[in-house]
């Protein structure tokens, strides 16, 4: 394999932004017919590298070579013309148009007077679709297709050019298991045709299933290339984060305190019904269930974003009614929301201002915000949570996902809440930061916080929770303790299978 001419070669690619060396001499090559994984934590430089390959950024130094021809790309169109094609995580299709129109968008075959040559268009589209073995036709409206099939349309679009290298960016993020199989078949076909493939994913299982080699980036630097067959998860992770990863559950036991939050018969019509639970100080209560089971909606009710239609909420033994987030915050309830960028942060604001936003009214000297007090809070939580940022003036939007999440967590810890609700604590966060956040949640409980963790990832709830509430379709099916829970009965509970059996027993 090493004799072949690389389909795509990177030599010493450097890209700097003011204050950041985003790519620091990245070199590796992708051979024809190879699936080459690109891995690295968020912020390692993968996205920047992709933008360089896609013609969106120009590298400051270094050379990109496609099939031994040095190339310079000043726009996405040029990149495509040179044979570098992207399959993006977020689809960029015109949903109102047909499959054929989408595939040849911008290059529709024409007849005289600029009329579209539909016969040629459909014939060419059919040819490509047959290569992909898909179950839809050129005339189908893209908006009617499943997400997986829409992705196939993107891939079909990639096949219209003479692609030398195809880059898949987290392609399985929204696919079901069955759909993944189809995708992997297509990738295998591309491989047979001698196309070089770069495959970006956080999912180890996929990496081992389909890739041939793995290149790792860390802090903008190239850290090495591993042969998939000769490596293991541990080695990759170590290369990615520069240390060994502790995945065991910290078993430091600590005494539980009084009940901090007690919920009885809470109902929001149409979303969830008759939900009762309590959380003690020093305890992590996990909420596990499928998307749409009502978990986030319960959190939103506790945080004053929804009005309950029935039920009571007691905080430290006292019944409370919560009408707004400001109410909830004043009573000591904090929410780290599931959508970090949409709900958690003002991306255009700096780190400090984001962190102190809920208490900015109280941080004043005379009529003005007290800069010193704010910076003190920021410094305190930057150190405590190990937030990596050049300084408080940095725009939050420029941080990696893990550091962004820590800003949100710091924001709420600095409010010293009684109850901390964390909704999907590690969504979209790389493996290194993930375990840091898990440890942090355990540490917070040990310090006496009552913590609610909502998660769709089973290893996560199992790792951080003292007790686990399993929800299905707006109802609590069962509550497990860390000692009694098993993966099997947890899965049964959240799919509604165990419900009748349990209550009968």
Partner 1 sequence: MSETTDTGGTRAQGAREGRMSGLSKEKIGGILARQGILVAFVLFMVGFALANQRFIAPDNVLGVIRSSAILGVMALGVTFVVISGNLDLSVGSMMSFSTIVVLDLHDQIGPALAIPAMFGLTLLIGAVIGFLVGYLRLNSLIVTLGMLSAIHGLTLTWSGGQNMDIADKEGTWFSVFGQGSVLGIPVPILIFAGLAVVLGLILAKTPFGRKVYAVGGNGVAATFSGVRRARVVFMCYLASSFCVATAGLIQASRSLGSQNTVGQGMELEVLAAVILGGASLLGGSGTIFKTVIGVLILGFIKNGLLLVGLQFYVQYTVTWVIIILAVWLDIAAKRGRLWSPIA
Q: Residues in the site for partner 1, rule: CB under 8 A? A: 18, 56, 75-77, 303, 305, 324-326, 328-330, 335, 337, 342-349, 353, 357-358, 360-361, 363-364, 367-369, 411
DSSP string, 242-270: SS----SPP-------SEEEEEEEEEETT
Helix/strand/coil for 423: strand
- Least separation in angstroms between residue 370's CB and partner 1 is 10
Instruction: Output the smallest distance, CB 229 to partner 1, in A.
Output: 40
Between 239 and 329, whose beta carbon lies closer to partner 1? 329
Residues forming beta bridges with residue 14, ordered by sequence position: 24, 61
Estimate the crossing angle of helix 177-192 against helix 118-132, to 10 degrees: 100
We find the least distance from the C-beta atom of residue 353 to partner 1, in angstroms, to be 6
Q: How many degrees, rounded to 5, is the angle at CA 271 between CA 266 and CA 275?
A: 25
- Min. distance of Cβ 382 from partner 1 in angstroms? 18
Which CB, 4 or 365, lies closer to partner 1? 365
147: tokens are 């997400």
Whose Cβ is closer to partner 1: residue 348's or residue 390's?
348
Pairing of strands 213-218, 221-227: antiparallel
CB 439 within 8 A of CB 250: yes
Residue 469: strand, helix, or coil: strand
| CB closer to partner 1, 166 vs 322 | 322
The SS3 of residue 400 is coil
Nearer Cβ to partner 1, position 81 or 497? 81
Q: Which is nearer to partner 1, 169 or 353 (CB)?
A: 353
Cα–Cα separations (whole angstroms), residue 408 to 134, 296, 379, 498 = 43, 17, 14, 36
C-alpha span between 312 and 237 (Å, rounded): 46
For the bound state, the minimum distance from the C-beta of residue 369 to partner 1, rounded and expressed in Å, comes to 6
- Can you tell me the distance from the alpha carbon of 418 to that of 319, in angstroms, rounded to the nearest whole number? 15
How far apart, in whole angstroms, are the C-alpha atoms of residue 436 and residue 388? 13
Q: Are 498 and 477 in contact (CB under 8 A)?
A: yes
How crowded is residue 185: how many other Cβ atoms within 10 Å of its Cβ? 12
Position of tokens 């076909």?
189
- State the minimum distance, in angstroms, from the CB of residue 360 to partner 1: 4
Sheet of 69-71, strand order: 20-30, 8-17, 61-66, 69-71
Least gap, CB of 419 to partner 1 (angstroms): 15
Which residue number, 14 or 97, has a Cβ lying nearer to partner 1?
14
In whole angstroms, how far apart are CA 415 and each of 319, 377, 384, 411, 442? 21, 10, 14, 7, 18
Residue 396 C-beta: closest distance to partner 1, Å: 10
**Closest CB 291 distance from partner 1, rounded Å:** 19
């Amino acid at each position: 394999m090493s004799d072949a001419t690389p389909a795509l070669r990177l030599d010493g690619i450097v890209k700097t932004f003011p204050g950041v060396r985003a790519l620091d001499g990245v070199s590796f090559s992708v051979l024809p017919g190879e699936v080459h994984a690109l891995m690295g934590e968020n912020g390692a430089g993968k996205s920047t590298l992709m933008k360089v390959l896609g013609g969106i950024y120009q590298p400051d130094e270094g050379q990109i070579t496609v099939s031994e021809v040095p190339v310079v790309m000043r726009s996405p169109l040029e990149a495509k013309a040179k044979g570098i094609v992207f399959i993006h995580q977020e689809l960029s299709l015109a949903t109102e148009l047909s499959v054929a129109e989408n595939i040849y968008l911008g290059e529709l075959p024409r007849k005289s007077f600029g009329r579209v040559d539909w016969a040629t268009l459909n014939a060419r589209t059919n040819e490509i679709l047959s290569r992909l073995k898909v179950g839809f036709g050129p005339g189908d409206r893209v908006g009617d297709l499943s997400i997986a099939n829409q992705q196939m349309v993107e891939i079909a679009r990639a096949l219209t050019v003479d692609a030398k290298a195809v880059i898949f960016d987290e392609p399985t993020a929204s696919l079901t298991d069955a759909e993944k199989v189809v995708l992997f078949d297509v990738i295998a076909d591309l491989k047979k045709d001698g196309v070089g493939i770069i495959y970006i994913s956080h999912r180890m299982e996929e990496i081992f299933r389909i890739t041939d080699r793995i290149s790792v980036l860390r802090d903008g630097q190239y850290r090495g290339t591993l042969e998939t067959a000769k490596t293991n998860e541990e080695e990759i992770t170590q290369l990615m984060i520069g240390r060994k990863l502790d995945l065991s559950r910290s078993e430091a036991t600590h005494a539980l305190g009084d009940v901090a939050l007690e919920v009885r018969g809470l109902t929001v019509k149409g979303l969830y019904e008759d939900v009762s639970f309590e959380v003690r100080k020093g305890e992590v209560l996990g909420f596990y269930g499928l998307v749409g089971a009502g978990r986030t909606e319960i959190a939103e009710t506790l945080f004053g974003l929804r009005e309950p239609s029935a039920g009571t909420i007691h905080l430290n033994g006292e019944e409370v009614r919560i009408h707004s987030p400001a109410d909830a915050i004043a009573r000591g309830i904090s929410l780290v929301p599931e959508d970090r960028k949409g709900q958690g942060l003002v991306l255009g604001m700096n780190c400090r201002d984001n962190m102190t936003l809920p208490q900015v009214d109280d941080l004043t000297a005379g009529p003005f915000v007290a800069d010193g007090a704010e910076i003190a809070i920021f410094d305190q939580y930057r150190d405590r949570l190990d937030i990596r940022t050049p300084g408080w003036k940095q725009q939050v939007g420029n941080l990696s996902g893990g550091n962004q999440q820590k800003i949100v967590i710091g924001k709420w810890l600095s409010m010293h809440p009684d109850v901390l609700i964390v909704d999907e604590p590690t969504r979209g966060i790389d493996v290194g930061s993930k375990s840091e956040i898990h440890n942090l949640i355990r540490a917070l409980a040990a310090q006496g916080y009552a913590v609610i963790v909502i998660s769709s990832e089973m290893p996560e709830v199992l790792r951080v929770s003292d007790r686990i509430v399993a929800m299905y379709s707006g109802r609590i099916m069962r509550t497990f303790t860390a000692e009694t829970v098993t993966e099997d009965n947890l899965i049964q509970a959240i799919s509604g299978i165990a419900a009748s059996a349990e209550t009968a027993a």
